[in-house]
Homo-oligomer: A and B are copies of this chain.
Amino acid sequence: MEKAIVLLSGGLDSATCLAIARSRNFECYTLSFDYGQRHRCELECSANIAKALGAARHSVMSIDLRQWGGSALTDDSIDVPAAQGDNVMPVTYVPARNMIFLSFAAAWGEILKARHIFIGVNSVDYSGYPDCRAAFIDSFRRTANLGTCASDEGWEWVIETPLQAMSKAEIIRTGSALGVDYSMTVSCYNPDSSGRACGICDSCALRKAGFAAAGVPDPTSYQER
């Protein structure tokens, strides 16, 4: 069975990505990052999703991005706005995050001889985050071919982005068909201490609209207001 590294954030997209990788018969090694994000529930969700979807092993890499600040997701002094509007760069952008995550995935992949890396980037996120673009992903692939044993050993990395062209509704329909339990996933930027979603941040809005458009009941646990 061929091996794959699957980046897992605890969110809806990466859970769907893992389900797709499993449906293609990959032995999946899931990788999450404890990067000082405010919401610890994301890490619990990731571990639960990995187990539920039959990952061969789940690994958590701790990286202390908090020491540098610079993003609302890692810096307590920057507030996450309820809705961000059309700023050039959202305050929730974490500098170079996907480059760091993919580099670790390549490191683990090289050790495991897993040549496929799944990452749940998609065109909806692309609007604000430079490291979700197809051009970045393809450039990363070339860089990884050069910066690991791949070129010397005569093989190439495959960066799988099955969600790249999907709408949120299509992602939800695909994952539902593959048996993903979306109540296990968290998307909200401002969840409460029990992990319940705020229902109003950009990420919640996108998710809600996705379930509505997919015609799938939204299993998200929302805070009472």
Contact = CB atoms under 8 A, between A and B. Distances in A.
A111 B143 contact: no
Given A152-B89, A152-B130, A70 B110 contact: yes
A89 B146 CA distance: 14
Given A65-B107, A107-B68, A110-B96, A88 B152 contact: yes
Interface in A110-169: 110-111, 130-131, 133, 135-136, 139-140, 142-144, 146-152
The oligomer's copy count stands at 2
Contact of A63 (B63, B99, B130, B140): B63
Contacts of A107: 65, 68, 70, 94-97, 99-100
A41 to B, nearest CB: 22
A81 B26 CA distance: 36
Given A95-B111, A106-B99, A140 B147 contact: yes
A182 interface: no
A130 B149 CA distance: 6
A77 interface: no
A98 to B, nearest CB: 6
Given A69-B111, A111-B70, A142-B139, A149 B89 contact: yes
A159 B62 CA distance: 26
Given A59-B67, A61-B63, A95-B106, A130 B147 contact: yes
A111 B93 CA distance: 11
B110 A103 contact: no
Given A68-B108, A70-B111, A99 B143 contact: yes
A101 to B, nearest CB: 9
Contacts of A69: 111
Nearest to A101: B103
A78 to B, nearest CB: 12
A-B complex: 9 closest residue pairs judged by Cβ atoms: A70-B111, A96-B107, A95-B110, A136-B146, A139-B143, A131-B147, A99-B103, A100-B103, A136-B147
9 contacts: A61-B64, A93-B149, A95-B149, A96-B147, A97-B107, A98-B147, A99-B147, A136-B146, A142-B143
